[in-house]
Amino acid sequence: MHVLTLTTNADAPFMTEQMRALERRGVSFSTLPVSGEGDSGKTRSPTDYLKYFPEVIAEAGNGYDLVHAHYGLTAPMALAQVRKPVVLSLWGSDLYGPVGPVSRTCAPLCDEVVVMSEEMRETLDHDCRVIPDGVDLEKFQPASQDEAREVVGWDPDEYHVLFPYLPEREVKNYPRARRLVNAVNGLVDRPVRLQTVYGVDHDTVPDYMNAADALLLTSRSEGSPNSVKEALACNLPVVSVDVGDVSERLEGVDPSLVSDDDEDLIEGLREILESGERSNGREAAREVSVERTADRLHSLYERVAAGGR
C-alpha cells in the first residue's frame, strides 16, 4: 500500500513515528508538506495554501492507494483531488482553534476521520475513529534520574517541573504553569524550577522526562497530548488540568493528579515533589504504544483502500 501524506509539519515526531511503524507493516509513504515547511519563524500566507492545491492534485495521480491529510488545513487540498479516498487526522488545535470551521466542513466529505480523544469526537459531532498518536516505548523508558540530570545539566539539589512547550504558545497557558510553580516554591524544602523545554531533538526528550520530578500541563485545550504519554512511558508523575484525554490516560496512574482547581494542582504538585516517587505510568502507556495505534491505523487504511468504511 502506498500513501500520500499531506501535512503542515513534516517533522512532527508523533506523525513520523507513526509512519515508521506503518512502514514496518508494509505501507510506503510520500510526504508533501505545505510550501514554507521547515522555514524557522515563517508564517504561511494564504498564497502558500493556494499554491498547494495544484501540487496535491498533480501528485495524487502518481499511483497512491489513498491520501492521508494530517491537520485540518490540508483537508481541502486532499478533497480537491478526486482520484483517491481521503483519510483526515485532526490533531486538536485544528478543531478547537481558528481552523475549526475548516475541519468541521471537510470532515463529512472524507472517507474516514481520525481524532485523538473522545472529547474531540464529541466536539466534531461526526462519525470518526478515536486513535490517539502512540508513544515509542523503546525510545521513552525509565532511567536514572541522577544520570539524566547530569546529561541535561540540571541542579541535583532542586526540584524540576517540566513544561515541554514554547511559553509563547498561548494555548499551553504558560502563565498558569508559572503561577502554580511559584506557589509550590514556598511550600517545599528545596527550590522548585519550572523547566521549559522546546525545540530540542526529539531523541533527547526522554532525558528531560527522566530528569524531571513532575510534568505540568496547563493547556486550555488538547487532543491527546503526546507529552503526557511520553511521561507515562518514563514513569514521570503528571499534574494536569482536565483537558483532552488526560483523565483517561492517567486513570489508575499513581502518583498523578487531574484537576481544574488551582489549589488542588498546587497541593498535588507539592505532594508529588516531596514524595520523590516515580509513577506506575509505563503500564498505562502500553495502551497507546506506537505499535498498538499503528495496528489500528493500518486496519483503517486497508478498509478505506478497499472502498469500505
CATH number at residue 249: 3.40.50.2000
Give pLDDT < 50 ranges for the chain: 38-41, 309
Q: Are residues 192 and 127 in the same domain?
A: no
Q: Are residues 63 and 130 in the same domain?
A: yes
Q: Are residues 36 and 98 in the same domain?
A: yes
Q: Are residues 180 and 299 in the same domain?
A: no
pLDDT of residue 209: 98
pLDDT of residue 42: 55
Q: Which three three-digit cell numbers place residue 215? A: 510534568
Q: Are residues 155 and 280 in the same domain?
A: yes
Q: Are residues 299 and 269 in the same domain?
A: no
How far is it, in rounded angstroms, from Cα 166 to Cα 168? 5
Does residue 189 lie within any of the structural domains? yes
Q: Are residues 282 and 293 in the same domain?
A: no
Does residue 140 lie within any of the structural domains? no
Helix (H) / strand (E) containing 50: helix 46-59
Buried b (16+ CB within 10 A) or exposed e, 241-277: bebbbbebbbeebebbbbbeeeeebbbbbbbbbeeee
Number of C-beta neighbours around residue 185 at 10 A? 17
Alpha-helical segments (H) within 136-220: 145-152, 174-185, 205-211
pLDDT of residue 38: 42
Does residue 139 lie within any of the structural domains? no
Q: Are residues 276 and 303 in the same domain?
A: no
pLDDT of residue 307: 86
- Domain region containing 156: 145-288
pLDDT of residue 206: 98
Whole-model pTM: value is 0.88
Count of domains observed in the chain:
2
pLDDT of residue 36: 66
pLDDT of residue 41: 44
Could you tell me where the beta strands, DSSP code E, fall in the chain? 2-7, 28-33, 66-70, 86-89, 112-115, 129-130, 159-163, 192-196, 214-217, 238-240, 256-258
Read out DSSP for 205-265?
Answer: HHHHHHH-SEEEE--S--SS-HHHHHHHHTT--EEE-S-TTHHHHTTT-SSEEE-S-HHHH
Q: Are residues 113 and 59 in the same domain?
A: yes
Q: Are residues 113 and 35 in the same domain?
A: yes
Q: Are residues 220 and 297 in the same domain?
A: no
Written as one letter, the residue type at 179 is R
pLDDT of residue 39: 43
Q: Which three three-digit cell numbers place residue 249? A: 490516560
Contact at 8 Å (CB) between 51 and 73? no
Helix (H) / strand (E) containing 93: helix 93-96
